[in-house]
Amino acid sequence: MLSGKTGQIDHPIPVQIDLYCPEIIYISQFCLLVLVSSKRFLQK
Per-residue pLDDT reduced to its tens digit, 1-44: 455 555 555 555 555 555 556 677 788 889 899 999 988 888 86
The answer to whether the beta carbons of residues 37 and 30 sit under 8 Å apart is: no
User: Which pLDDT score, from 0 to 100, does residue 40 have?
Assistant: 86
The answer to whether the beta carbons of residues 25 and 18 sit under 8 Å apart is: yes
**Distance in angstroms (rounded) separating the CA atoms of residues 24 and 44:** 30
User: Which pLDDT score, from 0 to 100, does residue 9 have?
Assistant: 53
- Maximal CA-CA distance, the chain: 48
Domain boundaries, the chain: 2-43
User: Which pLDDT score, from 0 to 100, does residue 14 have?
Assistant: 56
